[in-house]
Amino acid sequence: MADRTPADDGFFMPAEWAPHERCWMAWPCRDSLWGEGLAAARAAHAAVAKAISGFEPVTMLANAEELEEAQAQCGPGVTCQAMPLDDSWMRDSGPSFVIDGKGGIAGVDWRFNAWGGKFQPYDQDALTAERLLAQLEVSRYAAPLVLEGGSIHVDGEGTLLTSEECLLNPNRNPDLGRADIEDLLRRYAGVERFVWLGEGLDKDDTDGHVDNIACFVRPSVVMAVTCDDPADRNHAILKDNLARLAKAKDARGRALEVIELPLPREPRYVDGQRLALSYVNYYIANGGVVMPRFGDANDAPAFEIVSRAFPERKVVQVEASAILVGGGGIHCITQQQPRP
């Protein structure tokens, strides 16, 4: 679609609580990332897929040689399909779907560079969005912007939530300033107003993806992660983000209500590296929310907070520690396809 943008054609990115056609996932395969944790990561991906399939259809993409194993672990309730992959972060390598509110659907294919070139190779993942949209026979808009789906969150009413640490990082779009990036997001995500948070979680491999620190739960309401330990580096980061949210307005001029969600109580480390554990990294499904648990003292309080925020949905917790070893959570490994 040369030169046309989604906004030109009346498309916008809907909120994640809008009805879904299906959820797309991808089977973990990068040995250099997962190492000895690969089998556990696959079991955790299968558990997430099964949980989501209780609410809506799920398709798991997998390399052809791993398709049989993926299907065996995911079970008959999940569709598995062959597609060449480098790894399993469907939120970031898959398309961002947009709708026009009149029954039309299209997909935005952002440029993917493996979070600033952190992993090689990534050429198959960089083609995932294009391949998937071609398979679905859905119009594709190729955006001239390096961006991962986990770095933005929308309310479906013109407001976009993101972080400076990620979108302004020189390892993504070194030639673009904040105004340039905002302009491209207006045109490709169909948004009008931006709520910029500062940094993401300490030691987050994604350079501060917003889906680990905050998300919209309904129009003008944001759930934001907090940390009550002043000695923890995340304390100051998350306090600053709360201060920014307190001053922010959405596209309709409303102040934002903020629901605070605590981080897990105990920091977790692998090979001396802190994991970016967060309960807000969840998937909103049709009639449900699938959120992580970590065997932590805050698992139950977090479940209660999320359940109260989504009274019309059934909240299910899935053990996600094995996914976090790879640097992401449940939201990071899923991508919703809205029902137009």
Domains by residue range for the chain, with CATH: 20-338 (3.75.10.10)
**Cis check: omega of the bond before 170, within 30 degrees of 0:** no
Catalytic residue among 80, 166, 227, 332: 332
The CA-atom distances, in angstroms, between 133 and each of 24, 61, 68 are: 12, 13, 24
Q: Which two tokens stand for residue 29?
A: 């395969």
Beta strand segments in the chain, E: 20-26, 58-62, 79-82, 96-99, 105-111, 139-146, 152-154, 159-163, 193-197, 214-218, 221-226, 257-262, 269-270, 273-274, 283-285, 288-293, 314-319, 335-338
**pLDDT tens for the chain, residues 1 to 340:** 458 999 999 999 999 999 999 999 999 999 999 999 999 999 999 999 999 999 999 999 999 999 999 999 999 999 999 999 999 999 999 999 999 999 999 999 999 999 999 999 999 999 999 999 999 999 999 999 999 999 999 999 999 999 999 999 999 999 999 999 999 999 999 999 999 999 999 999 999 999 999 999 999 999 999 999 999 999 999 999 999 999 999 999 999 999 999 999 999 999 899 999 999 999 999 999 999 999 999 999 999 999 999 999 999 999 999 999 999 999 999 999 999 9
Residue with tokens 């979680």: 201
- The pTM of this model reads 0.97
Distance separating alpha carbons of residues 156 and 271, to the nearest angstrom: 40
Instruction: Label residue 225 left, alpha or beta by phi (over 0 means left) and psi (-120 to 50 means alpha).
Output: beta
Active site annotation includes 166:
no
Torsion of CA 289, 295, 298, 300, to 10 degrees: 50
Helix axes 67-74, 38-53, angle to 10 degrees: 50
